[in-house]
């Protein structure tokens, strides 16, 4: 284990590509540049609030000493670091937004892990960059705590994700208009150290295509494939790579559906080419099952990024990505053909996932219609998704009463009939399994989390911490590590009534 301050960082990205090396932090357009060298803005008094021991062990990084803490707070860089903000573009809410870039994130460099691999270490909330677009580049405690806990929670759920090594309060206030209602307030600031093999996103390639910087686009594609997809090569490697990104994206969407996660801001600049969940903003898990739920107030009224629309948005975003790659392939129709296979790929992954959630031995032809009927039932009756599936695993025979504790409102007679009909169909199907009940329940246990990091818990942890009470925050750090066990049944409850409309407990703004 090495102290962060004594580690030797590599800088493969900045060494391979042109960047603006002036160090000027003023927001501006940077044509021809894939990044801008940017130094974190010092803060008043960094204080370590959280540290991921699991991730630190994987990285081979020792618990932070005083010098390391200054790095985590953005007050110090070492000689081997070459901090930068990446330049990228994107489609936001379906519209081309032009140059975006790391507006409040600064990558320090690439850290070599004990296994020989590399991880990019990035400070989010560490000050202004050329891509801050007039903002301050800072992050508030509430959004930073949410990202720290949720990215680690998703990792332990088995969902591909960027991760978080540390959460540091800055001692500085940050002005934010949380509700976009013209009444900004000072809030405590914080910085998260984010970790990923790469933070490259669709938008890194889109901006080069849009600017017709085709030579740089070709170099970035070749570098990305050789570094992160080393098994892909040959004359058709770009098509093979796009197909792999498509598969990873489809698989990621399925994983979100499995655990009931809603990203909230699926813009193309928030889509990882590695198939990782990236950029945690106004996200949420489902409490009551609602296919039309979006956690993002900015996404109203259209609900473009609602729970049940995430898969098709993934395909739309892949279409934008394909458009960026089109100048590099001989026949753009080959990209279109791969894209048209997205639905087949997605649904294959999806039905396999649902077989796990339902404890089915396999996906038979008749199961597809039943699964669609099952989802329709959930959407009509709105049970708590997490609790409902846990109760399903312990059901011996069809029974409406068995699921009473999963509903936020008592079912009327017609709703009880709907539930009983579908449960009876399910019971008949499960009895035809070619695996025994124990094996079926084990599949369900591995597919259905018992603990999810609900928004109201996050909001409570934020409020308590701001008042000097870290007890709930500490309990949640423990709970996220074992989401499939009953060790955290203190939290195995429905969202309380008071949280349904409370700010931060259901929907959030992009400022969150």
Q: What is the mean pLDDT of each run of 10 residues along the chain (512 residues)?
A: 92 97 93 97 96 97 96 97 98 96 97 96 97 91 97 98 98 79 83 98 98 98 98 96 98 98 97 97 96 93 95 98 97 97 98 98 97 98 98 97 97 98 98 96 97 97 95 97 96 93 75 48
Gap between the Cα atoms of 59 and 53, Å rounded: 10
Q: Which residue has the tokens 């040959």?
A: 234
What is the structure's pLDDT at 508?
76
The answer to the question of residue 500 being in a domain is no
Query: Does residue 147 lie in a domain region?
Result: yes
Task: Provide the pLDDT for residue 315.
Answer: 98
Q: What is the pLDDT of residue 179?
A: 62
Both 125 and 225 in a single domain?
no
pLDDT at 170: 96
195 and 120 within one domain: yes
Report if residue 66 sits inside a domain. Answer: yes
Domain assignment present for residue 490? The answer is no
* Number of separate domains in the chain: 3
Look at residue 184 in the predicted model and tell me its pLDDT. 81
Q: Say whether both 293 and 421 belong to one domain.
A: no
- Based on C-alpha coordinates, what's the Rg of the chain? 23
In a domain, 458, yes or no: no
3-state class of 311 per DSSP?
Answer: helix
With respect to residue 456, please indicate whether it lies within any of the assigned structural domains: no
Q: Residue 42: what pLDDT?
A: 96
379 and 324 assigned to the same domain: no
Chosen domain end from 175, 199, 223 = 199
Is residue 223 in a domain? yes
195, 141: one domain: yes
pLDDT score, position 511: 53
Strand partners, 407: 383
Task: Look at residues 211, 204, 271, 245 and name the one whose alpha carbon lies nearest to residue 17.
Answer: 204
Rounded to 10 degrees, the C-alpha dihedral 475/480/485/486 comes to 30
Helices (H), 341-482: 342-358, 365-381, 385-393, 413-430, 437-447, 455-466, 471-479
Closest CA to 433 of 347, 376, 355, 508: 355
What is the crossing angle of helices 437-447 and 385-393, to 10°?
A: 160
Last residue of a domain, one of 146, 166, 199: 199
Q: Kindly state whether residue 296 falls inside one of the protein's structural domains.
A: yes
182 and 58 in one domain?
yes
Say if residue 221 is in the same domain as residue 132. no
- 340 burial (CB, 10 Å; 0-12 / 13-18 / 19+) is exposed
Q: How far is CA 392 from CA 127, 173, 359, 401, 505, in A?
A: 48, 47, 10, 12, 26
User: Which tokens is 322 given?
Assistant: 């394909």
509: left (phi over 0), alpha (psi -120 to 50) or beta: beta
Catalytic positions are 269
- Using alpha carbons only, what angle is made at residue 152 by residues 34 and 503, rounded to the nearest 5 degrees? 90
Whether residues 167 and 34 fall in one domain: yes
Shared domain for 177 and 264, answered yes or no, is no
239 lies in the same domain as 114: no
Residue entry with tokens 């160090």: 23
Domain endpoint, select from 173, 199, 225:
199
Neighbours of 392 (CB within 10 A): 21
Question: 301 preceded by cis ω (within 30°)?
Answer: yes
Q: Sign of dihedral through CA atoms 225, 229, 234, 235?
A: negative
pLDDT value at residue 510: 64
Per-residue confidence (pLDDT) for residue 17, from 0 to 100:
97
CB 325 within 8 A of CB 302: no
pTM of the model: 0.96
**Cβ atoms of residues 187 and 174 within 8 Å:** yes
Residue numbers of the domain that contains 423: 362-384+398-432
Where does residue 248 rank: exposed (0-12), middle (13-18), buried (19+ CB within 10 A)?
middle
CA 260 to each of CA 37, 82, 130, 485: distance values in angstroms, whole numbers, following the listed order: 38, 38, 36, 17
Helix (H), strand (E) at residue 91:
strand 89-92
Residues 192 and 217 in one domain: no
Give the C-alpha separation, 429 to 208, whole Å. 52
394, 406, 454: which is closest to 260 by C-alpha?
454
Whether 8 and 121 map to the same domain: the answer is yes
What pLDDT sits at residue 512? 44
């Amino acid at each position: 284990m090495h102290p962060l301050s004594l580690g030797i960082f590599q800088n493969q990205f900045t060494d391979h590509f042109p960047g603006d090396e002036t160090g000027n932090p003023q927001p501006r357009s940077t044509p021809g540049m894939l990044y801008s060298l940017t130094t974190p803005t010092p803060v008043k008094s960094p204080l370590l609030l959280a540290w991921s021991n699991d991730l630190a062990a994987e990285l081979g990084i020792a618990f932070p000493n005083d010098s390391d803490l200054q790095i985590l707070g953005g007050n110090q860089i070492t000689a081997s670091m070459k901090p930068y903000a990446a330049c990228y573009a994107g489609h936001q809410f379906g519209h081309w937004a032009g140059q975006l870039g790391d507006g409040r994130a600064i990558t320090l460099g690439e850290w070599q892990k004990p296994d020989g691999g590399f991880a990019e270490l990035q400070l989010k909330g560490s000050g202004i960059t050329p891509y801050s677009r007039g903002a301050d580049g800072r992050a508030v405690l509430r959004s930073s705590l949410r990202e720290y806990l949720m990215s680690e929670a998703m990792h332990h759920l088995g969902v591909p994700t960027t991760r978080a090594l540390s959460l540091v309060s800055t001692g500085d206030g940050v002005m934010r208009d949380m509700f976009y209602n013209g009444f900004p307030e000072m809030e405590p600031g914080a910085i998260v150290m984010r970790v990923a093999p790469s933070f490259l996103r669709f938008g890194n390639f889109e901006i080069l295509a849009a600017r017709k910087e085709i030579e740089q686009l070709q170099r970035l594609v070749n570098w990305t494939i050789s570094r992160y997809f080393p098994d892909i090569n040959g004359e058709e490697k770009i098509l093979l790579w796009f197909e792999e990104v498509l598969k990873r994206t489809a698989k990621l969407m399925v994983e979100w559906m499995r655990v009931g996660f809603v990203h909230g801001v699926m813009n193309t600049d928030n889509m990882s080419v590695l198939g990782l969940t990236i950029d945690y903003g106004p996200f949420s898990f489902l409490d009551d099952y609602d296919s039309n739920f979006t956690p993002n107030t900015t996404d109203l009224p259209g609900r473009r990024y609602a729970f049940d629309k995430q898969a098709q948005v993934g395909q739309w975003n892949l279409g934008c990505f394909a458009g960026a790659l089109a100048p590099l392939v001989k026949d753009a129709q080959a990209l279109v053909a791969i894209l048209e296979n997205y639905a087949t790929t997605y649904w294959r992954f999806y039905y396999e996932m649902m077989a796990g959630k339902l404890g089915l031995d396999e996906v038979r032809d008749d199961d597809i219609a039943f699964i669609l009927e099952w989802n329709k039932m959930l959407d009509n009756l709105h049970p708590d998704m997490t609790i409902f599936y846990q109760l399903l695993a312990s059901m011996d025979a069809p029974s409406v009463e068995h699921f009473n504790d999963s509903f936020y409102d008592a079912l009327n007679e017609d709703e009880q009939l709907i539930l009983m009909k579908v449960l009876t169909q399910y019971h008949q199907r499960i009895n035809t399994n070619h695996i025994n009940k124990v094996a079926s329940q084990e599949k369900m246990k591995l597919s259905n989390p018992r603990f999810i990091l609900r928004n109201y818990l996050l909001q409570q942890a934020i409020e308590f911490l701001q008042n000097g009470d870290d007890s709930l925050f500490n309990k949640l750090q423990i709970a996220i590590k074992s989401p499939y066990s009953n060790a955290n049944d203190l939290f195995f409850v429905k969202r309380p009534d008071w949280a349904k409309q409370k700010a931060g407990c259901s929907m959030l703004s992009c400022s969150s």
